[in-house]
Chain A
Amino acid sequence: MSNNSLVSIADYSKEEILSILDSAADYEANPNRKTLDGKVIATLFFEPSTRTRLSFETAVVRLGGSIIGFSDAATSSSSKGETLNDTIHMVSCYADAIVMRHPLEGAARHAAEVSPVPIINAGDGANQHPSQTLLDLYSILKTQGTLENLNICLVGDLKYGRTVHSLIMAMSHFHPTFKFIAPDELKMPDEYKVFCRRNNIPFTEENELTDNFNEADILYMTRVQKERFQDLMEYEQVKNIYTLRNNMLNNSKPTLRILHPLPRVSEINPDVDGNEKAYYFKQAQNGLYVRQAIVSKVLKPLTPKGEQE
Chain B
Amino acid sequence: MEKKLKVAALRNGTVIDHIPSDKLFKVVSILHLDTCLNQITLANNLESAKIGSKGLVKISDRALEVDETNKIALIAPHAKINIILDYQVVEKRPLVLPEEIIEIVQCTNPNCITNHQAVTTRFHVLNNDEEIMLKCHYCEREVKRDDVKIK
Contacts and interface: CB of A to CB of B under 8 A. Distances in A.
Interface of A: 8, 83-85, 102-107, 109-110, 124-128, 191, 194, 198
A106 B140 CA distance: 7
A203 to B, nearest CB: 17
A107 B113 contact: yes
A126 B111 contact: yes
B80 interface: no
Interface residues on B, range: 10 to 19
A104 B118 contact: no
Given A104-B116, A194-B128, 19 more contacts: A84-B113, A85-B118, A103-B111, A105-B112, A105-B113, A105-B138, A105-B139, A106-B107, A106-B114, A106-B137, A106-B138, A106-B140, A124-B113, A125-B139, A127-B139, A127-B140, A128-B140, A194-B129, A198-B128
Contacts of A198: 128
A101 to B, nearest CB: 13
Contacts of B141: 105
Given A83-B118, A106-B140, A109-B137, A125 B128 contact: no
Contact of B111 (A84, A125, A191): A125
A297 to B, nearest CB: 22
B5 interface: no
A8 B140 contact: yes
B142 interface: yes
Contacts of A102: 113
Contacts of A83: 117-118
Nearest to A83: B117
A198 B128 CA distance: 9
B119 interface: yes
B110 to A, nearest CB: 10
Q: Which 7 A-B pairs have the closest CB atoms?
A: A106-B138, A105-B139, A106-B139, A106-B113, A104-B113, A107-B113, A109-B138
Interface of A is mostly: mixed
A8 B137 CA distance: 11
B111 A104 contact: yes
A242 B40 CA distance: 64
A191 B114 contact: no
A105 to B, nearest CB: 4
Residue of B107, B136, B139, B141 with most chain A CB atoms under a 10 A cut-off: B139
A109 B135 CA distance: 14
Contacts, number: 54
A127 B113 CA distance: 11
Given A83-B117, A83-B118, A105-B113, A191 B142 contact: yes
A194 B133 CA distance: 13
B125 to A, nearest CB: 16
Nearest to A107: B113
A105 B135 CA distance: 13
B119 A110 contact: yes
B109 interface: yes
B116 to A, nearest CB: 6
Contacts of B129: 194
Contacts of A85: 117-118
A52 to B, nearest CB: 19
A105 B113 CA distance: 6
A198 B129 CA distance: 9
Contact of B117 (A103, A105, A110, A127): A110
Contacts of A105: 109, 111-113, 138-141
A104 B142 contact: no
Contacts of B136: 106
A158 to B, nearest CB: 17
A169 B32 CA distance: 40
A222 B112 CA distance: 24
A70 B118 CA distance: 23
